[in-house]
């Protein structure tokens, strides 16, 4: 088998393809997968730069990145009776998905949804699990409520828009450039604002969309938008934070420590006394710490598969890159120009 590893934090060239021992004998509750595609997420970019704390704690170096994948079953353990070699499947992994072969617990493996390609399936679970947890478990979004989604044409943003729309919410999306507007609308946004870096016109458009404020705002930008996102909340309102993308220089490859420090200084510190008086809540989470929540994973994936069957949910647009060119995949994602997701093709 082959896998993509980083020996130490670095730029795109740190991603190296290496040979590794193949796995032939799964444990009783395990499944061996021949990987077709590996999903690429911004969390992988942060981990490659050495700034993803859970990756440093849980796996260390040399580090194989990747949270999601698709492929075919190669072998199953003695206690796995509902899958067989050759079955097309997809799922999640607590890191390590940048590999041509995977050994996983059965609970992380799901059958390929009808109508999905293997490439689309590899781009689906992380974005939708992140969106589900942020929107419903923390944001408690309900039908008729107004929801603001940042980066609404991206992987997680597009999933948020679809899930919110399927729930019956009014959805306002924010995107970084005009060519992403139609994609955000197609995902389910009722209105879309363009936010070039440094612009605040989007704030006025958002306020006009929801004059009484938003019940839920979902933000992975960081200091660039967090203050405005909090102010746009209604009372009660919930701000859900799942990333800090503006801390990183677009398309830079390496960590810009000066930008990182400046953005950290600019990041708002929310005062609990003020939050109590404002009747607003602020939540934050990291999906990589939730992989042991088996009941949550099963419930969410069950709802997703049902939504796919009913035609309520669809896979994001996918940009394929050969696995041997993982550095190109990261560079493409970091450019900020993509719509949907990037996947590695094995």
pLDDT, averaged across the chain: 92
Closest CA to 160 of 118, 202, 225, 217: 217
pLDDT tens digits, residue range 278-291? 999 999 998 888 88
pLDDT tens digits, residue range 222-280? 888 999 999 999 999 999 999 887 766 666 677 777 877 877 888 899 999 999 999 99
Count of residues for the chain? 346
**Is the pTM of the predicted complex or chain greater than 0.95?**
no
Predicted pLDDT at 251: 62
The average pLDDT across 155-172 equals 96
The 3-state DSSP class for residue 44 equals helix
Residue by residue, DSSP assigns 171-184 as EEEEESSGGGHHHH
Distance CA 97, CA 278 (A): 43
pLDDT band at 60 (very low <50, low <70, confident <90, very high): confident
pLDDT band at 121 (very low <50, low <70, confident <90, very high): very high
User: Could you tell me what percent of the chain has a pLDDT over 90?
Assistant: 74
Beta strands in 120-248 (DSSP E): 146-150, 170-175, 191-194, 214-219, 233-241
pLDDT tens digits, residue range 67-89? 999 999 999 999 999 999 999 99
pLDDT tens digits, residue range 29-53? 999 999 999 999 989 998 998 888 8
Predicted pLDDT at 249: 65
Has residue 294 got a pLDDT over 70? yes
The average pLDDT across 309-315 equals 88
Question: Between 200 and 138, whose confidence is greater?
Answer: 138
Predicted pLDDT at 256: 76
Domains detected in the chain? 2-124+316-345 (3.90.180.10), 126-288 (3.40.50.720)
Burial of 1 (0-12, 13-18, 19+ CB in 10 A): middle
Burial of 191 (0-12, 13-18, 19+ CB in 10 A): middle
Burial of 137 (0-12, 13-18, 19+ CB in 10 A): middle
The average pLDDT across 319-332 equals 96
User: Could you tell me what percent of the chain has a pLDDT over 70?
Assistant: 97
């Amino acid at each position: 088998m082959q896998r993509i590893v980083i020996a130490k934090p670095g730029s795109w060239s740190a991603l190296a393809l290496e040979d590794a021992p193949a796995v032939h004998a799964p444990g009783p509750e395990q499944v061996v997968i021949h990987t077709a595609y590996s999903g690429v997420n911004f969390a992988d970019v942060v981990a490659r730069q050495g700034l993803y704390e859970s990756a440093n704690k849980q796996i260390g170096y040399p580090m194989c990145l990747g949270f999601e994948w698709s492929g075919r079953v190669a072998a199953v353990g003695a206690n796995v009776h509902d899958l067989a070699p050759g079955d097309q499947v997809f799922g999640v992994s607590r890191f390590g998905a940048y590999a041509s072969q995977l050994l996983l617990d059965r609970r992380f493996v799901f059958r390929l949804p009808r109508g999905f390609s293997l490439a689309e399936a590899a781009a689906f679970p992380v974005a939708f699990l992140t969106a589900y947890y942020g929107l419903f478990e923390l944001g408690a979004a309900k039908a008729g409520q107004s929801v603001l989604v940042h980066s609404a044409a991206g992987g997680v943003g597009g999933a948020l828009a679809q899930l919110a729309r399927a729930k019956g919410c009014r959805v306002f999306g924010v995107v970084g450039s005009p060519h992403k507007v139609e994609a955000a609308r197609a995902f389910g946004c009722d209105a879309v604002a363009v936010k070039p870096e440094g612009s605040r016109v989007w704030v006025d458009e958002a306020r006009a969309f929801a004059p009484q404020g938003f019940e839920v705002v979902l933000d992975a930008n960081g200091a660039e938008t967090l203050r405005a996102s909090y102010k746009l909340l209604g009372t009660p309102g919930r701000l859900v934070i799942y990333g800090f993308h503006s801390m990183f220089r677009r398309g830079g490859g390496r960590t810009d420590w000066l930008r990182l420090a400046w953005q950290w200084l600019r990041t708002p510190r929310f005062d609990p006394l003020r939050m109590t008086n404002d009747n607003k809540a602020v939540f934050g989470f990291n999906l990589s710490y939730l992989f042991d929540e088996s009941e949550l994973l099963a419930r969410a994936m069950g709802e997703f598969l049902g939504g796919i069957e009913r035609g309520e949910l669809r896979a994001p647009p996918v940009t394929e890159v050969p696995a041997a060119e993982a550095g190109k995949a990261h560079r493409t994602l970091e450019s900020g120009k993509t719509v949907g997701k990037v996947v590695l093709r094995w």
